[in-house]
Amino acid sequence: MDILSKESARNYSPAALAFYGDCAWEIMVRRYILEKGSAPSGKLHSRSVEMVRASFQSEAVDIIESLLTEEEADILRRGRNASGIQVPRSSTPREYHRATGFEALFGYLFLIGDYCRANQFFEVILNEKSKCE
C-alpha cells in the first residue's frame, strides 16, 4: 500500500481512519507481546485484549493528549466526535468515543507512513502504564 499525503489521509472519514487504526494498534500490541516471549496463543490473546479494549485506549488518550500536534489533536477530535458509532456493552460511551478517536489517530499516522510518531506514542503509553502497575 502506498503512503498517502496528509491531505489524502484527512479525506477519509473518522470511522475509516479508526477502522485502519484499530488494525495498526493491534499489530503494534501483538508485536510488543511477542517480543516479551513465546507463549500459547490463548495467553498471547489474553495479554493483547487488555491493551486493545476501549478502556485502555481511552486512558491512553489522557497520556498522549498533551503531546499531540494541532493536526494530530484534530484527527483525534474528529474520531472522538464521529457519529453513528454503536457502543458495545463492554465500555462506556465516553470510553468508546475516546477510543475511536485514538484509533483514528493511529490510522492516520499509519496511512501517512509516520510509523516513528506512532511508535513514540506507543512507547510513551507503555512507559506511563507500567508506572501504574
Q: Which amino acids are annotated catalytic?
A: 22
- Measured CA to CA, the distance from residue 115 to residue 75 in angstroms comes to 16
CB 61 within 8 Å of CB 76:
yes
Q: How many CA atoms lie within 13 A of 129 on its CB side?
A: 17
φ, ψ dihedrals at 40, nearest 5°: -60, 150
Cell 458509532, residue located: 85
The neighbour count for residue 75, using CB atoms within 10 Å, is 25
- Measured CA to CA, the distance from residue 113 to residue 83 in angstroms comes to 27
